[in-house]
Amino acid sequence: MTKAIIVVSFGTTYPETRKKTIQACEETIQQRFPDFQVHRAFTSNVVIKRIKENEGISVPTVNQLLEQLKKDGVKEVYIQPLHIILGSEYEKVVHQANQFKEDFELLKIGKPLLFSEEDYENVANILVKEYNNNDVDEATILMGHGSQHYAFTAYAALDHMLTDEAVYIGCVESYPPVELLEKRLEAKGIKKVHLAPFMLVAGDHATNDLCSDEEGSWKHFFTEKGYQVETHLIGLGEYPSVQELYVQHLEKIIQ
């Protein structure tokens, strides 16, 4: 088989959510493109190292995988990142792939979840469908990772598009911060908060920074402020509608 797809994500050390999200996306892609061999790659060297140590599983980086595909005589390679924004992890994929441009007849990279205005609208619609509450005193706060990269503005743009909904986007490592969201909830008289990750996987950040009872978590923050809190450990990759958006991005570069 001379055509390959690389499905690349940051990765996660949590096997259960990895299966429900990353593997689910890979399987959906394989079903839609049966004439391609589908491979997994991660961008986080720390995650790769821990999985090797804890599970004995070796996951390659993009450049390691491209090196192998070159040796195997693959001619066409399509890379579909499962990243959320055009941030530093996405740029890492592009940088590694560009080193192999001359080694394949065709080497293309798809866009992350949030790229075009249409992407934002599609994702906003999915979030409203999955998380909007009919009760006037309830709201859902979704925790994005955030970024020091200039693409951090993607989260604020999506949050702005959800202004008329009871769904909010905040970030654990950049803007919008949880404190700002809480002020908006207080102004609207919200009494109950649903917390869920706005991340591909429900891994370390979702488990510890979002849903744990430890001081510093968002659950602890809202509980201390007097809200009733319900947590939902569901990664975005679990939703078939989100998987479909990644498939559409891949279709664009394959066509």
Q: Which residues are annotated as a binding site for Co(2+)?
A: 10, 145, 173, 205
Here the tokens at position 220 are 């602890």
Give 197-236 as a DSSP string: E-SSS--HIIIIIIT-SSTTSHHHHHHHTT-EEEE----G
141-199-31 Cα angle (round to 5): 130
Cβ count near 230 (within 10 Å): 14
Nearest to 151 by CA among 123, 197, 115: 115
Q: From CA 50, how far away is CA 245, in angstroms rounded?
A: 29
- Cβ-in-10-Å burial (0-12, 13-18, 19+) of 248 comes to middle
3-state secondary structure of 166: coil
Cβ count near 56 (within 10 Å): 7
Question: Which residue ranges make up the annotated binding site?
Answer: 10, 85-92, 145, 173, 200-201, 205
Question: Which residue ranges make up the annotated binding site for substrate?
Answer: 85-92, 200-201
Walk across the sheet containing 76-81 and list its strands: 37-42, 3-9, 76-81, 106-109
Among the listed residues 39, 83, 95, 145, the single catalytic one is 145
39 is catalytic: no
Tokens 């490592």 sit on residue: 173
CB contact at 8 A, 174 and 146:
yes
Here the tokens at position 188 are 């609207």
What residues act catalytically?
145
